Structure 1
Amino acid sequence: MQFVPRWVPEVGDGTTSVVLLAGEILKQVKPFVEEGVHPRIIIKAIRKSLQLCMDKINEMAIRIEKQSKEEQRALLIKCAATAMSSKLIHQQKDFFSKMVVEAVLSLDELLPLNMIGIKKITGGSLEASQLVSGVAFKKTFSYAGFEMAPKSYNDCKIALLNIELELKAERDNAEIRVDNVKEYQKVVDAEWQTLQQTGKIHESGANVVLSKLPIGDVATQYFADRNMFCAGRVLDEDLKRTMKACGGAVMTTVNDINPKVLGKCDYFEERQIGSERFNIFKVC
């Protein structure tokens, strides 16, 4: 089983085959070990067999040189369909092989394969799966006032934050008792500080705000009143994919927010897919 963690990052498929193959090799080697054959001789024989296998594979291999994009695409679809033949989705391999190839080819040469996100949704059929040319992630928790905000934008400008825009919550049914003006002023100042931060975000020109940390009800209502969409507690993976796809930078302070650090995409919408709502950024 130690083969699997090394095999998957390198090849990505064939984990069952490699385990069965390794088990069969050990089965064939066992009699020689019992007869006292030195391990070095056994290892030398295995390495010799490996070389013979590599020579045979190179002999059978088909060289791919100077193909047109259409021919290359058709070959990749065949390869993807072959890899899916032993999976649970083998009956829909024609459908998913085209989707997989389209996803890989849509990546820029400098972008790694982990930029392709896979989101699983309960319910519906396999053929209802779709490829989003951009970024999509599940809707995060939202406070009251969120429903007032628009759910779609054209020429979207995105503020990516690692800032908490929320007043610290107390325990359930907690109350604050203030016995002097100074204590009351501290409460007002805390809320005012949040409003100052949201004001600077609004002045930057952003109309979609994504933050890794919570965005409270005060900030949510502020953004909704100004026709801005916001989402807090966005997963780090989704925030980084959005940054790489749409540009911009993740900011840790509102003081440096300006149009140059905002991400951009042609279209944003929040849409119901199956039993979940998703935030979708297209044509980044």
Structure 2
Amino acid sequence: MQYPVMVMNTNMEREQGRKAQISNIQAAKVIADIIRTCLGPRAMLKMLLDPMGGIVMTNDGNAILREVEVAHPAAKSMIELSRTQDEEVGDGTTSVIILAGEVLSSALPFIERNIHPITIIAAYKKALENALLIMKDISIEVDIHNKEEMMRIIKSTIGTKFVSRWSDLMCGLAYDAVKCVNKELDGKREVDIKRYARVEKIPGGEIDESRVLDGVMVNKDVTHPKMRRRIENPRIILLDCPLEYKKGESQTNVEVTDEAHWSRLLEIEEEQIKELCDHIIRLKPDLVFTEKGVSDLAQHFLMKHNITAIRRARKTDNHRISRATGATIVNRAEDLKESDVGTGCGLFEVRKIGDEYFTFLEKCEDPKACTILLRGPSKDVLQEIDRNLQDAMCVARNVMFEPRLCPGGGATEMALAVRLAEQAKTISGVEQWPYKAVAEALEVIPRTLVQNCGGNAIKTLTQLRAKHVSAENFSWGIDGESGKIVDMHEYGVWEPHAVKAQTIKTAIESACLLLRVDDIVSGLARKDAGSAPPNMEDAPQEGER
């Protein structure tokens, strides 16, 4: 008996792969279309309802996509891009999604013409390499110590955001905060804005009252009402241990049969706490911060020596205080030394703002940590200002790491599009067309900027393309307010090279990744136990072939 030979139908497989690729491209396009109107200074806001019933109004691409719920795996992958971009460089979250969606869409005609995805990917990778070289060529160097120049760069980031009305104030806050936490260690520059530049949002007051403190502020009050609330040039001790009597380990039982024993137990507790406090008192500090609790007895001993105590400080706040005042965080009071005491703070004061008490440590000599105090009319406004400020600080940080700038307003993308289209003519074979498609896809950024401010996209882009034909005009882009073409050198809109490079890298590489997918299979088990997986039900059993 002869077994029938199973012939694999390559056409069916190709059809299946094409179906998955087209599905991925459509999903990516839908995500890009959601936030397309959020690009540029005339960007529209999205109103989001979060699961708790709260409302968020923002035009920040990353904040919008964080709240969007999607089921399609390719759409989830696109949302992940925005998060990656935000963590890596902190800006360009909207651009990266729009660009990735457009690059993927440009692959659709080639897939329909049966050009293999690997060929398309090879052309995309080549275009990416050349784009990064061209971008280096059209970027200019910047002096990071020139405050005016840095302010202009940060202003171009905030110009498209909600806080653009207070752009001078916000740019100043971002620049001062980043400059404050900028530290060089062993020849390496460290600018950790997440850990050491904390934003404190206090509703009430005017937005103009926002400022960067030359020190740290924490939402705490002193533990005892008679403790001092204002100390000039305080000596500060930071602890990571409780100032309470030591409790026994788990399941400790004490059986007291005599009243004298009970009194002795209480005496031992008191002796323990007195010994703890004596270790602190011998260094004559004015101020003690601890991450744990402070018992009433410890407060009594410290107050007798005119020492102010603040308890249950956050670990992150303790680290910031340590950086700002020069104090060392100590785990055991017994190990305290004179070198652990911080003397870099000029003024300690507890102030009441609204209904709450806040501890200010100000006038620090060389604070390498700071608090940005934001005031505003409501929580919603403060949250949006905070998001915009984070973007501005990330831009300042990126420029400090890599002091190179590219022209903004879609000028870089148009320059890349024109030069890549020229280079496409030198490529032979099928790869020429996908390569050229990347050049056309890059035009989506200036086109979206024109559309978002109600301009004539076709007419304006034709004028811009004509300008960029001459290599010297690489800095011409779109004025996001009026939709006209302007020279970014004179207009003063620049973007960090790191942000631009990361945007194009992320967009093209993610498009390549999604194009390599030729099937989408659910890995979820079926609910009715015992049944075969969906793809296996009709498969021939062993011995049937």
Normalising TM by the smaller chain, what interval?
0.7 to 0.9
2:225 is matched with 147
TM-score, normalised to structure 2, is: 0.46
Instruction: Give how far 1:56 is off.
Output: 4.0
1:130 is matched with 211
1:227 is matched with 306
Instruction: Give how far 1:104 is off.
Output: 1.9
Distance (Å, rounded) in 2 between the aligned partners of 1:121 and 1:133: 18
TM-score, normalised to structure 1, is: 0.85
SS at match of 1:118: strand
Distance (Å, rounded) in 1 between the aligned partners of 2:231 and 2:154: 35
Q: How large is the Cα RMSD of the aligned pairs?
A: 2.5
Distance (Å, rounded) in 2 between the aligned partners of 1:42 and 1:240: 50
| 2:240 is aligned with 1:162 | yes
Instruction: Give how far 1:49 is off.
Output: 2.8
Aligned-residue sequence identity (percent) comes to 24
Report matched runs for 1:177-188 at 5 Å: 180=258, 181-188=260-267
Q: Whose relative contact order is higher, 1 or 2, with alpha carbons under 8 Å and at least 6 apart? A: 2
Instruction: Specify the code of the residue in structure 2 equivalent to 1:244.
Output: R
CA deviations 1:128-149 (Å, max 9, x no partner) are 2111011222115x64xx1211
Instruction: Give how far 1:185 is off.
Output: 1.5
Unaligned runs of 5+ in 1: 170-176
92, 97, 116: which one aligns with 2:197:
116
267, 281, 284: which one aligns with 2:361:
281
| 2:102 is aligned with 1:24 | yes
2:399 is matched with none
2:118 is matched with 40
The alignment of Structure 1 onto Structure 2 pairs a total of residues equal to 271
CA deviations 1:141-164 (Å, max 9, x no partner) are x64xx1211112122111110111
Task: Confirm or deny: 8 A CA contact 2:144 2:150 kept in the other structure.
Answer: no
| 2:283 is aligned with 1:204 | yes
Instruction: Give how far 1:210 is off.
Output: 0.6
1:266 is matched with 346
Instruction: Give how far 1:166 is off.
Output: 2.7
Instruction: Specify the code of the residue in structure 1 equivalent to 2:327.
Output: G
SS at match of 1:16: helix
CA deviations 1:250-281 (Å, max 9, x no partner) are 11111121221111222221222344322222
Unaligned runs of 5+ in 2: 1-78, 185-189, 248-254, 366-545
Instruction: Specify the code of the residue in structure 2 equivalent to 1:278.
Output: F
Q: Name the stretch that deviates more: 18-27 or 72-81.
A: 18-27
Task: Confirm or deny: 8 A CA contact 2:279 2:333 kept in the other structure.
Answer: yes
244, 260, 273: which one aligns with 1:194:
273
Distance (Å, rounded) in 1 between the aligned partners of 2:230 and 2:123: 64
Task: Confirm or deny: 8 A CA contact 1:160 1:248 kept in the other structure.
Answer: yes
Instruction: Give how far 1:202 is off.
Output: 1.4
1:242 is matched with 321
Instruction: Give how far 1:168 is off.
Output: 7.9
Task: Confirm or deny: 8 A CA contact 2:242 2:292 kept in the other structure.
Answer: yes
Rg larger in 1 or in 2?
2
